[in-house]
């Protein structure tokens, strides 16, 4: 059973302890409990995530944050969140595909020792960030990692297609952005079905699949598309 966590105390203590250690690596405190290094259109960053089981353990999520993408989604001026568009969890070897590590933090002393290990491991992962030399690298890596084709077609995940269209807009590729945004708008107009047995969504009807009603998230996505399309077509 999950245990309620004291995020506030953990965030304050961990930020105070780790900030001086990662400053020499170029990271500075960002909003939402994250730390980042500012680039031309994106942030190289990380944040700590506590275990839901109340053990005090935590892991480190790191990757790429795109503030401009968040701004395009923030039509209702909601509180900003340091969300990683391309992300992985820090591991012992500081490589993307070698699993993750959970650090212990049952008390202040254990937290301090764990954060020293985190800082030392973070110093090893600069090679991963070097693949993002330009904002176009961020855009292409997102497309590749999301399994999106070069051209919009088929039964694609709406959020992934929408984010890619928004990234193209931020990259000033307005014509391509408009194609993806129009495609995503058409995608959202299709009926959505839920397969309880497979626990998957699909736009294709089939025996056992339940027709879903449009959600508030769907409405927000349509508004985001309309706002972005107006910008892309201007």
Q: Taking the model in full, what pTM does it have?
A: 0.87
Please tell me the predicted confidence (pLDDT) of residue 52. 75
Phi, psi (degrees; rounded to nearest 5) at 50: -75, 150
SS3 content of the chain, % helix, strand, coil (to 5): 45, 15, 40
| Cβ pair 61, 49 in contact under 8 A | yes
Name 121's Cβ contacts closer than 8 Å, sequence gap at least 6: 60, 90, 91, 92, 94, 101
CA 208/CA 96 separation, integer angstroms: 38
In eight-state DSSP terms, residue 154 is S
Helix (H, G, I), strand (E, B) or coil at 79: coil
In sequence order, what are the beta bridge partners of 209? Answer: 195
C-alpha distances in Å from residue 155, one per residue of 76, 144, 187, 204: 29, 16, 8, 9
Phi, psi (degrees; rounded to nearest 5) at 174: -65, -40
CA 30/CA 109 separation, integer angstroms: 24
Instruction: Give me the residues of the chain with pLDDT under 50, please.
Output: 1-7
C-alpha distances in Å from residue 199, one per residue of 192, 202, 222: 13, 10, 24
| Cβ pair 59, 48 in contact under 8 A | yes
CA 134/CA 188 separation, integer angstroms: 31
CA 107/CA 232 separation, integer angstroms: 51
Domain range annotation of the chain: 7-129, 135-232
Please tell me the predicted confidence (pLDDT) of residue 5. 46
C-alpha distances in Å from residue 63, one per residue of 17, 28, 137, 187, 196: 21, 15, 13, 29, 33
Please tell me the predicted confidence (pLDDT) of residue 148. 97
């Amino acid at each position: 059973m999950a245990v309620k966590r004291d995020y506030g105390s953990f965030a304050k203590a961990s930020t105070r302890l780790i900030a001086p250690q990662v400053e020499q690596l170029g990271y500075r405190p960002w909003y939402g409990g994250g730390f980042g290094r500012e680039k031309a259109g994106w942030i190289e960053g990380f944040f700590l995530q506590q275990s839901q089981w109340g053990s005090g353990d935590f892991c480190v999520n790191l990757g790429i944050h795109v503030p401009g993408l968040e701004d395009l989604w923030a039509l209702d001026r909601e509180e900003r969140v340091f969300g990683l568009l391309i992300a992985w969890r820090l591991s012992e070897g500081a490589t993307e595909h070698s699993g993750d590590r959970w650090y212990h933090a049952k008390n202040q002393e254990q937290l301090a020792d764990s954060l020293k290990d985190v800082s030392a491991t973070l110093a090893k992962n600069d090679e991963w960030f070097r693949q993002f030399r330009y904002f176009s690298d961020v855009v292409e890596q997102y497309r590749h990692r999301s399994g999106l084709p070069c051209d919009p077609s088929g039964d694609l995940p709406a959020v992934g297609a929408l984010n890619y269209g928004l990234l193209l807009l931020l990259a000033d590729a307005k014509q391509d952005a408009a194609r993806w945004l129009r495609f995503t708008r058409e995608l959202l107009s299709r009926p959505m079905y839920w397969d309880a047995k497979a626990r998957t969504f699909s736009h294709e009807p089939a025996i056992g699949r339940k027709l879903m009603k449009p959600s508030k998230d769907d409405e927000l996505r349509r508004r985001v598309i309309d706002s972005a399309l107006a910008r892309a077509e201007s």
